Amino acid sequence: MLKVVKLGGAVITFKESYRSLREDVLSRLLRELAQYYSETGAQIVLVHGGGSFGHAVVSECLGRRGYIDPTCYSATADAMDQLSGFVRRVAIELGLPAVSIAPRSICFISSGSAVCNLDIFRELVSRGLTPVTYGDVVCSDRGFEILSGDTLAWLLARELGAGELIFV
């Protein structure tokens, strides 16, 4: 049975301190997930929020410009790639066969709704891998928008037929 697990950005980062990871919390949560994976062979999709990485960049851009421009898009993507890299590396070190998937490469927001090509998730999960994805900046019919990790987790659970959706 597939499980989608969403780690809140405020749980795995110090949200009030720019780009600061709560390594102890992240390690503990991923250790528990890796142990569960090892004991059960469960199929897992891991989603995380932006915390002090993505939220800080987007807040600054929106406060200064009122919208997400190409510079903000790039900076947000960089911040989220960095955070996802940390999450992925810790997961791998602890025994989860994790691989990152950037939502900006597979999702588009049309009329306020996310449309994503989830074939890569299906393939990776069917081959025993643990996709790691996250809230991200994506293209939309209005320019650039944020696809939140919570929204993405719900979408993944629904479209992939997950047996459980767990928010931490």
Please tell me the predicted confidence (pLDDT) of residue 70: 96
Please tell me the predicted confidence (pLDDT) of residue 111: 96
Could you tell me which residues are beta bridge partners of residue 94? none
Query: Domains of the chain (ranges plus CATH)?
Result: 2-167 (3.40.1160.10)
- The H or E element containing residue 138 is strand 136-140
What's the pLDDT tens digit per position in 147-161?
A: 999 999 999 999 999
Half-sphere CA count of 41, side-chain side, radius 13 A: 3
Question: Which pTM was predicted?
Answer: 0.96
Query: Distance (Å, rounded) from C-alpha 53 to C-alpha 32?
Result: 24
Q: Which two tokens stand for residue 51?
A: 């915390």
What's the pLDDT tens digit per position in 13-68?
A: 998 899 999 999 999 999 999 999 999 999 999 999 999 999 889 988 888 888 99
Map residue 10 onto helix, strand or coil.
helix
Q: Give me the phi and psi of 94, to 5 degrees please.
A: -95, 0
What's the pLDDT tens digit per position in 74-109?
A: 999 999 999 999 999 999 999 999 999 999 999 999
Please tell me the predicted confidence (pLDDT) of residue 168: 97
Residue 112: C-alpha distances to residues 40, 68, 83, 148 (Å) = 38, 15, 26, 12
Please tell me the predicted confidence (pLDDT) of residue 66: 87
Sign of CA dihedral 69, 13, 105, 138: negative
Alpha helices (runs of H) in the chain, residue ranges in sequence order: 9-12, 23-40, 51-65, 70-93, 119-126, 149-160
Q: Using 50, 70 and 90 to split pLDDT, how confident is the model at 125?
A: very high
Q: Give me the phi and psi of 109, to 5 degrees please.
A: -100, 120
Please tell me the predicted confidence (pLDDT) of residue 63: 85
